[in-house]
Amino acid sequence: MSINKLKSLATVVAALGAVLAAPAHAGKTLDAIKARGQVICGVNTGLAGFSAADSNGKWTGLDVDICRAVAAAVLGDGEKVKYVPLNAQARFTALQSGEIDVLSRNTTFSLTRDASLGLSITAPTYYDGQGFMVPVKSKIKSAKQLKGQTVCVQSGTTTEKNLTDYSKAAGLNIKPVVFEKVEAATGAYFAGRCVAYTTDASGLASVRNKEAKNPDDHVILPELISKEPLGPMVRRGDDEWTAIVKWTVYGLLEAEEYGVTAANVDDLKANSKDPVVGRLLGSTEDTGKLLGLDKEWLARAVKTTGNYGEIFERNVGPKTAIKLPRGLNNLWSKGGVQYAPPVR
């Protein structure tokens, strides 16, 4: 190769390196968030453990904490969030129209939602599956015993289609009783209008704890009839904002993997010799510039909500009223499927 060609190649390589190392542009969504000083987050109207408001209007839950972590990363304050409660029918329209910045509302990732709604999926925050709840007195032990029975279900959800598919595939001739609002569906079940109620297993646990007069009078059947990876969604067309939400989730997971918690984040930021921890917390490397953020974006997120494991245990774990096991949502290194690409 001639000297001139070598020089030309070197110039191209140098230019490419400069592009790859350049800070990311903030993106229009982040610009709007910074201008208003608030992240607008779409959440469930009320699903204990995931997103629910108390009598004082304070929102808590796993999905809520994801919003708080994002706000801490981009605005420096996890309380700078406006929560917009949305039912299943309104959630996608609210995101498409720009009413909200991010939808963090127990929403299943699927091909149709990813490819045809003008939305982008980010990262799963809860791996779930659809199940059934029945009264203990029904003596039903398996979903296969629901042949010809009535099942309450909410319309406009993957749950409704999954029920129909399962009934057809298993030859059960289940009779769906469909309601537009989840409150109507659960109310009908507890009033005895349906033999069973179906939704994601996490939702069943939440509803049983919150709405049953005696939670022990109801049992969640062992079968799961679908895969329901739940997580935040954003509008398509703003890759910078998609990356911020996605990598905030991944960062919370990697923080758990490396033992970074809300309690020790400041100490580790100042004293840790682990190169991965230094990179996560911005003490040795600046990953924030690649997202249009500062170098301590993830440190703030973890300090605000704790790592993913802390978020899970506080909101829905075995010691809460919801009593969900980590199961699939444990780290990949502990028998689960939560696996974050490296923050580097």
Q: What is the phi/psi pair of residue 161, to 5°?
A: -70, -40
Q: What's the pLDDT score for residue 339?
A: 97
Average pLDDT over every residue of 105-110: 95
Residue 18: pLDDT band with limits 50, 70, 90: very low
Neighbours of 219 (CB within 10 A): 18
Q: What is the mean pLDDT of the chain?
A: 93
Over 90: is that where the pLDDT of 140 sits? yes
Q: What's the pLDDT score for residue 25?
A: 57
Residues 259-278 as b/e (b if ≥16 CB within 10 A, e otherwise) read ebbbeebeebbeebeeebbe
Instruction: Name, in order, each residue with C-beta under 8 angstroms of 169's C-beta and a sequence gap of 6 or more.
Output: none
Instruction: Name, in order, each residue with C-beta under 8 angstroms of 43's C-beta and a sequence gap of 6 or more.
Output: 51, 59, 61, 63, 64, 67, 83, 84, 85, 86, 104, 105
* C-alpha span between 234 and 35 (Å, rounded): 19
Over 80: is that where the pLDDT of 271 sits? yes
Residue 156: pLDDT band with limits 50, 70, 90: confident
Residue 157: pLDDT band with limits 50, 70, 90: confident
Tokens, residue 200: 């994601």
Quick one: the chain helix, strand, coil %, rounded to 5? 45, 15, 40
Q: What's the pLDDT score for residue 27?
A: 84
Query: Which range among 9-18, 51-60, 90-99, 229-238 shows the weakest confidence by mean pLDDT?
Result: 9-18
Counting residues of the chain whose pLDDT is more than 70, the rounded percentage is: 92
* C-alpha span between 313 and 301 (Å, rounded): 17
Which contacts of 3-8 are long-range, i.e. CB under 8 A and separated by 24 or more positions? none
Q: What is the phi/psi pair of residue 258, to 5°?
A: -105, 15
Instruction: Give the CATH architecture of domain 28-127+230-324.
Output: 3-Layer(aba) Sandwich (3.40)
The domains of the chain are located at 28-127+230-324, 130-226
Over 50: is that where the pLDDT of 69 sits? yes
Nearest residue to 181 (alpha-carbon basis) of 316, 293, 85, 298:
85
Over 60: is that where the pLDDT of 246 sits? yes
The CATH code of the domain at 130-226 is 3.40.190.10
Nearest residue to 93 (alpha-carbon basis) of 84, 81, 83:
84
Instruction: Name, in order, each residue with C-beta under 8 angstroms of 81's C-beta and a sequence gap of 6 or more.
Output: 38, 39, 40, 41, 59, 67, 68, 71
CA distances from 306 to 11, 233, 267, 332 (A): 45, 21, 14, 19
CA distances from 251 to 58, 200, 315 (A): 25, 26, 19
Helix axes 239-257, 308-315, angle to 10 degrees: 80
Average pLDDT over every residue of 195-202: 97
Residue 76: pLDDT band with limits 50, 70, 90: very high
